[in-house]
Amino acid sequence: MAATNRNRRAAPRETWLDEVAEAAARDAGNVPVQLLGDYLPMLADAAVSGRRPRRAELEAVGRLGRQAAERGISAGRVVQLYLSAARRLWQDLPMVVRSRDPEAVRAAAAAVLHVVDDAVATLAEGYAEARRELVRREETLRRELIDDLLRGDSDLASLVERAEPFGLDLARVHQVALAAPVRRLPDTDAAISALEAVIFDRLGDRDVLVATKDGLLVVIAPAEPGAAGRTARNDGRQHDLGQLMHEVLDRLRQGRPWRIAVGRAHPGLYGIARSYEEAREALTMAGRLHVDQRVVNAHDLLVYRVLLRDQPAIVDLVSAVLTPLARARGGAEPLLATLQAYFGTGGVATESAKHLHVSVRTVTYRLDRIRKLTGYDPSDPAHRFTLQTAVLGAKALNWPAEPLPSVG
């Protein structure tokens, strides 16, 4: 009989607390009311008896904070739920709890505030701990995804499923850009944050991933077919991805000067791996060729890829056509520079002279010397292709600064 009476007395209180909880949940943007747990009974007990929450009760609140983080509910909304619940409970306390004694009211208010402080602090700690774990887990998944995307040999169905949470549509056309610092990679978090802030602003956060790999910054971005270094903007126009990255990274205190290499745009999963390999190759080639530009595009270096694909043949060509230049006074380098300038200006001696900062007479003398030493006349269209191909091959092989590779 006594138990029945206790249940009858408890029933109105439970109904009243349920109404407070539901109203607080609405205040917080319809946050699940279950995230309050036993918080409201703790507040009511504190108001009536001054009881502080037990350790087990606070640990339960911490677990609720973790649940909120795992459900993706913002910390602000969860805290708002708890504060709104405390405010509504204090406003709606049954009159039996109220007192005309100011000291009693102050004591009840202090007890309630102690519970609010302890509960909200514990809630925030649980939420923050869960968020840190989620970030670490997401970073691991993100790194594994990027490694598999760049390698290009993973199961397609699995990758499509893993890429979706990161906003990556593998059916689209993508390109990969790499950024190499002059020395070791500086503060990676600062570099990634700076790139993400600008790239997300220009391109949106879907289909864009920024990470590090092998000491390089890696950007995977959407592109139109044949964009060759330009990415599609939200307004339909094109933006140069490499130049955008260089502008951002050049503002960082460390890592300058950066060299950016951009692979060509390719469709599908394997297009990402292909663009990545092109960007890596372009980065390596730009270093070997001593390219002055800080941003290089893979499509600009295609001819060197073709030449070096059959290295024995290009070594043979350079050896047969250009090594006689080494017998000239001053060696082969001045004559090679003259050929590069001559071909680069469309075979115009006066423009070549301006480029080399020498007289026109010096240019014509060197061209004649090249003809006599090699047997190939740079002004003869029939000879020009052979000479120009050999010059490109020499540049790719860094000859004569380095000896020609052995092809035996």
Residue 353 is predicted with a pLDDT of: 93
The b/e string for 271-280 (b: 16+ C-beta within 10 A; e otherwise) is bbbbbbbbbb
| 326 shares its domain with 290 | no
| 202 shares its domain with 291 | yes
**212-256: pLDDT as tens digits:** 888 889 999 988 655 545 555 444 434 588 999 998 888 887 767
pTM of the model: 0.61
Look at residues 118, 133, 148 and tell me which one is the last residue of a structural domain: 133
Distance CA 364, CA 348 (A): 10
Residue 6 is predicted with a pLDDT of: 40
| 323 shares its domain with 282 | no
The reply to whether 42 falls in a domain is yes
Q: Domain residues for 289?
A: 166-300
In degrees, rounded to 5, the angle at the alpha carbon of residue 21 between the alpha carbons of residues 19 and 26 is 95
The reply to whether 403 falls in a domain is no
Task: Please state, rounded to an integer, the average pLDDT across all residues of the chain.
Answer: 84
Asked if residue 298 lies in contact with residue 261, where contact means CB atoms within 8 angstroms, the answer is yes
The reply to whether 317 falls in a domain is yes
Q: What is the CATH number of the domain that holds 392?
A: 1.10.10.2840
The reply to whether 87 falls in a domain is yes
Q: What is the CATH number of the domain that holds 227?
A: 3.30.70.2730
The reply to whether 196 falls in a domain is yes
Centroid of chain to Cα 367: 50
Distance CA 118, CA 355 (A): 75
Q: Which of 88-102, 275-289, 306-320, 347-361 has the lowest mean pLDDT?
A: 88-102
Asked if residue 173 lies in contact with residue 265, where contact means CB atoms within 8 angstroms, the answer is yes
Paired residues of 266 in beta bridges:
174
Look at residues 300, 323, 344 and tell me which one is the last residue of a structural domain: 300
| 289 shares its domain with 345 | no
Asked if residue 40 lies in contact with residue 17, where contact means CB atoms within 8 angstroms, the answer is yes
The reply to whether 227 falls in a domain is yes
Residue 2 is predicted with a pLDDT of: 39
| 273 shares its domain with 372 | no
| 27 shares its domain with 76 | yes
| 204 shares its domain with 227 | yes
| 270 shares its domain with 188 | yes
Instruction: Answer whether residue 198 shows pLDDT above 60.
Output: yes
| 321 shares its domain with 293 | no
Q: From residue 30, how far is each of 17, 208, 258 by CA, in Å?
A: 17, 32, 49
Structure tokens at 191: 């570099």
**199-215: pLDDT as tens digits:** 888 877 678 888 888 88
| 216 shares its domain with 327 | no
Look at residues 300, 319, 336 and tell me which one is the last residue of a structural domain: 300
| 282 shares its domain with 344 | no
Instruction: Answer whether residue 12 shows pLDDT above 80.
Output: no
The reply to whether 155 falls in a domain is no
**124-165: pLDDT as tens digits:** 999 999 888 887 888 888 888 888 889 877 777 888 888 888
Asked if residue 130 lies in contact with residue 78, where contact means CB atoms within 8 angstroms, the answer is no
The reply to whether 407 falls in a domain is no
| 107 shares its domain with 233 | no
Residue 230 is predicted with a pLDDT of: 56
Instruction: Answer whether residue 65 shows pLDDT above 70.
Output: yes
**14-40: pLDDT as tens digits:** 688 888 999 999 999 999 999 999 999
Domains identified in the chain, total number: 3
